[in-house]
Amino acid sequence: MIYIPLIERRKLAADFISLYEHLIRLPNSFLLESSLMIDGIGRYSFLGADPFLIFRSKNHCIQLISNQKCVTLSGNPFSKLKELLNTYRIEESNLQFPFCGGAAGFFSYDLGRILEKLPSLADDDLNLPDMCLGFYDLIIMMDHFTQEVYIISTGLPETDPDRAYKHAEKRLRDICNVPIKYLPQMDECPEKRMKGISSGRRLTWDTVFGAYKPGNTDANKMSCHFDKDSYCKNVQKAKEYIRKGDLYQVNLSQRFSLPLTMEPWTLYRRLRSINPAPMAAYLNFGSIQVISASPERFLKVAGRQVETRPIKGTRPRGKDISMDQCLRDELWNSKKDRAELVMIIDLERNDLGRVCEIGSVQPQELFRLDEYATVFHLSSIITGKLPEDKNVVDLLRAAFPGGSITGAPKIRAMEIIEELEPVKRGIYTGAIGYLSFNGNADLNIAIRTIIIKDGQAYFQTGGGIVADSDPLAEYRETLDKALALMVALGLGGKPGHERL
């Protein structure tokens, strides 16, 4: 069955995230937001709620939840996901929207165990799903170029054409009558309370602790699995593996946790104000919320065209324009960071080449420097073309998890990560985004991401270790990457930072 969606176009009278607040209490709502334009990323944002199907998996156990009924299956979750996407295929030929309804949610880093035989040494203390995806028959899309909103209703999961059309009409009518016609302005949004920090301002440790008045979060209540010395020792262990020839590079991370002292949605709004990102996300999946301000695109599929944008190389923002320029130049001219990125480019080209047409995988931009509120990043753009008989699930199988957050060679790097990191990564360095019923997809790398579960906030940061890595510098890089997350969570005061 091929579905043709109904589409309503509107002009938006308020900001897009205010629109999401009308849906936030509906079951399994999501927001995929581009709150920062980076060349080629950031034109569209999407939101949705109340999916007709929830797809969850853990190892080879699959749960399909619909109409408050749960069916449990055993098998390969990628195979089942591909089957479902084929079942609900959309024919969308008149308007080339990137996302016309489909699956939205997250893929855990640990889903890699389905694809490769890996040791299981780290503690799975959070016990998160490997996959958690809602299948959404209706989504709302914002085009930031035209400032227009499109409401796209598919009529799914009805299979009879007449019934599907009537269902799509009803869903479209219901949603249009509530949030689009009436968009109240918020009396005071968190962005207005940020005490001088805005998306247009560089963010450094000094400017944060000079301008920001923290909330009631106590830095002494924050815990992490490494202190400075133990993290540096693990960097040395990783370097020893590199010296022995096991691998060229490995990504080593540390996880932080602390009690959450605000509503998860308030935290998202604070984070987007401090650190706008081109591939941000808010997932409200019942017992867990996922808050992401990711700068990195993992995989995009548009028709048969594929793109990935690996990041390798980071510098913090400077105190002023002059220091900013010095740090930009330092990163741009860093032989170490360029060498790291080239390794990952080769890895990503190999991953894409497993499913893309022969000869189609090419670096479109070998080195580029991107600017964010707290850091500069060195990145690359690699593209390819899928053959007619392959789709986004085949691409995921070939490329997951992303090479920029594992290392090279990928499998050996993942084995060493499992040995050196005490807890399983879960969503961190997995992927968040959508798989559209029309075959398109856009997924981030789940970095700069906070997981909320049982009143605790968890977040993780890391960096690539190579033969000449300085352990203390690598440790400091994890803190630079954590800066925006810590501030959004209400941590303030330099002593808390120095304690780490």
Known catalytic residues are 296, 312
φ, ψ (nearest 5 deg) of residue 56: -130, 145
Which helix or strand (DSSP H or E) is residue 132 part of?
strand 131-136
Q: How far apart are CA 67 and CA 155, in angstroms?
A: 16
Query: Cα–Cα distance between 312 and 99 in angstroms, integer?
Result: 28
Taking the C-alpha atoms of residue 95 and residue 73, their distance in angstroms, rounded to an integer, is 37
Q: Give the Cα separation of 61 and 483 in Å (integer).
A: 37
Q: Which of 181, 158, 157, 161 is nearest to 8 (CA)?
A: 181
| Residue appearing with tokens 């054409």 | 161
**Backbone φ, ψ for residue 58 (5° rounding):** -145, 115
**Tokens representing residue 406 in the block:** 């594992």
| Residue in the structure block whose two tokens are 């040791």 | 119
- The Cα–Cα gap between 155 and 115 comes to 34
What tokens appear for 497 in the block? 């930072």
Tokens representing 59?
């190892």
Contact (CB, 8 A) for 55 and 131: yes
Residues 260, 132, 435, 98, Cα dihedral to 10°: -30
- Which residue in the block uniquely carries the two structure tokens 């009308």? 22
SS3 218: coil
